[in-house]
Chain A
């Protein structure tokens, strides 16, 4: 188990280095940062001095090593556009995105899995057919469209929910949360619903098809033949076997929820990293873009690591046999 974690950690470091290289390359190919930072009347000498000061004249290898060293210490550089440390900007925006993603993911899981189980266990019931029809809508409608529809209905027509922002935020020092206030919860409902909608339908359909598959297996039939109760068979035996692939997809989806919160954050003007990233693109704010890239990659890698470890917890076949060999002695 420890060997596995170490091996995976090592792989993660390699992946992160590769991503850092891409982030680093951004600096070199998307225009001249100095030209972006200074005005037209800046002299050539001043520009050269600035280049020197920023370390842009060193060799590529040295610059990359410095870059990796910096991001390893969470020093992401200075934003070209706002002239503030990127780390600060991200620290301000990160809680908003993570809270939104977490609420969306929990909603997708807590609603999607029971819906999937229900439709698998009672395929003929009307409610199952309704779930499937709704899921088709959820999977085919673009996210922003659902968001705009929600704003129209609940924000404009009914006036029940705020249409933008996070609402009141409680500052915990290192973290600002909107989940401790009523207005914060009101504000997060629509964005989280929008963001989680696609994942919910995906999880529901995945759970359904996996569960149908598992219910056809011999060990489920044998479990019934042993006289176990329906509940023990469906939830103890079938659901647990269903969860292995669901964990994979959910893990990957959590990463993409965080990464693709961009659209939802734009629709709801949610002050998260996605919005920050979009603004950064407009201003060719390379440090912010590169840092965003690295950070999102870090989330993906961390989640994948967690998924790998979870596998081993759920599925004994992946654990390495200790001592007494498998398949011996008949």
Chain B
């Protein structure tokens, strides 16, 4: 158990509104081992980004963690006073956001932003910080860093800016990197480079990565394990190969079937009927049951918990251990 760097247990994120409390993340539990890349997939609004924000303590009000815990190397980091969580952000957990075009402050050079971050977290002088900034820019593949360090963000292309963002996230050698849709805003050709870079730098440093995306392709290339989220809950979590090749949860099955295979002619693309429920109308029982082709009696009543099935864990009544068996086991 102590091998896990990040342990999220029963995380629940709520938004109090006038018409009642919306539960955007509901009882999410997972862990990431040191050096592991955990992918987190799901549709828009499934609660992936909120989970990431909750981990780094940057939920936007009125959103709040209503229950559960987040542990980093065994120590709880949810609910820490702002000043303490701030020292963890950037220092021990680096974050990368979706849009590199808007992640950098337009009024400062990339060097100024790097040096500022380094000086905030590391106890070194200004000259050493600049040297380190240069090294980082070189490591993330910015050509001619000595010249580029004094350029402003608008002088960089989108892919280059995302490299700068990665350099910023890595500047204090964090143990965990939370990457929220790091490639969504980029060209496909640049995506592969950025993902490769992220994976390589993470591996070199032994850093763990929480990779949030809606792109199964990115997950397949990068992640060791994958968590599939639906309506604020984890539907299935397991080793990436297993989940992709033999999905257990009907929702994951639907997702996989919806990816068109290259080189095979199909008349119509497979799809899952209906849409993910909005936060204020999540059904009782399993959130997926109204759309589920394999729903059984009880799906609209009993909420399934995660059950281990051969290396994976799945939240579906189909895999519920028979009460009789459980009694014997």
Q: Which of B144-197 contact A (CB under 8 A)?
A: 147-148, 151-152, 154-160, 165, 168-169, 171-172, 190
Q: Which of A195-224 contact B (CB under 8 A)?
A: 217-219, 221-224
B261 in the interface, Cβ–Cβ < 8 Å?
no
Q: Which of B60-112 contact A (CB under 8 A)?
A: 82, 86-91, 94-95, 97-99, 102-109
Q: Which residues of A contact B160 (CB under 8 A)?
A: 329-330
The segment out of B8-16, B115-123, B214-222, B293-301 that lies at the interface is: B115-123
What is the interface of chain A mostly: helix, strand, loop, or mixed? Answer: helix
Alpha-carbon distance A327/B100, docked complex (angstroms)? 13
The segment out of A47-55, A77-85, A226-234 that lies at the interface is: A226-234
A237 in the interface, Cβ–Cβ < 8 Å?
yes
Check B120–A227 contact: CB distance below 8 A. Answer: yes
Q: Which residues of B contact A218 (CB under 8 A)?
A: 97-99, 102-103
A317 and chain B: residue at smallest CB distance:
B154
Of the candidates B108, B120, B155, the one whose C-beta lies within 8 Å of that of A327 is B155
Q: Which residues of A contact B103 (CB under 8 A)?
A: 218-219, 222
B282 in the interface, Cβ–Cβ < 8 Å?
no
Of the candidates A232, A237, A324, the one whose C-beta lies within 8 Å of that of B151 is A324
Alpha-carbon distance A321/B108, docked complex (angstroms)? 15
B235 in the interface, Cβ–Cβ < 8 Å?
no
Q: Which residues of B contact A229 (CB under 8 A)?
A: 86, 120
Q: Which residues of A contact B169 (CB under 8 A)?
A: 225-226
Check B157–A223 contact: CB distance below 8 A. Answer: no
> Count the B residues whose beta carbon is within 8 Å of the partner chain — how many?
44
Q: Which residues of A contact B90 (CB under 8 A)?
A: 225-228
A217 and chain B: residue at smallest CB distance:
B102
Alpha-carbon distance A228/B160, docked complex (angstroms)? 23
Check A225–B95 contact: CB distance below 8 A. Answer: yes
Nearest Cβ distance between residue A38 and chain B, in whole angstroms?
Answer: 63
Alpha-carbon distance A329/B142, docked complex (angstroms)? 9
Check A225–B154 contact: CB distance below 8 A. Answer: no
Chain A residues touching B, range: 20 to 34
Of the candidates B109, B121, B165, B171, the one whose C-beta lies within 8 Å of that of A222 is B165
Check A232–B58 contact: CB distance below 8 A. Answer: no
Check B120–A329 contact: CB distance below 8 A. Answer: no
Of the candidates A221, A222, A316, A328, the one whose C-beta lies within 8 Å of that of B157 is A328
A326 in the interface, Cβ–Cβ < 8 Å?
yes
Check B165–A314 contact: CB distance below 8 A. Answer: no
Q: Which residues of B contact A227 (CB under 8 A)?
A: 86-91, 117, 120-121, 172
Q: Which residues of A contact B91 (CB under 8 A)?
A: 227
A70 in the interface, Cβ–Cβ < 8 Å?
no
B321 in the interface, Cβ–Cβ < 8 Å?
no
Of the candidates B102, B116, B147, the one whose C-beta lies within 8 Å of that of A232 is B116
A241 in the interface, Cβ–Cβ < 8 Å?
yes
A240 in the interface, Cβ–Cβ < 8 Å?
yes
Check B120–A232 contact: CB distance below 8 A. Answer: yes
Q: Which of A310-330 contact B (CB under 8 A)?
A: 314-317, 321, 324, 326-330
Check B107–A228 contact: CB distance below 8 A. Answer: no
Residue positions of B touching A, CB distance < 8 A: 56, 58, 82, 86-91, 94-95, 97-99, 102-109, 116-117, 120-121, 143, 147-148, 151-152, 154-160, 165, 168-169, 171-172, 190
> Could you give 7 example pairs across A and B, Cβ below 8 Å?
A219-B102, A227-B87, A230-B82, A315-B106, A315-B107, A316-B152, A327-B155
The 8 closest A-B pairs by CB, nearest first: A227-B90, A225-B95, A218-B102, A227-B89, A330-B159, A226-B90, A326-B155, A316-B152
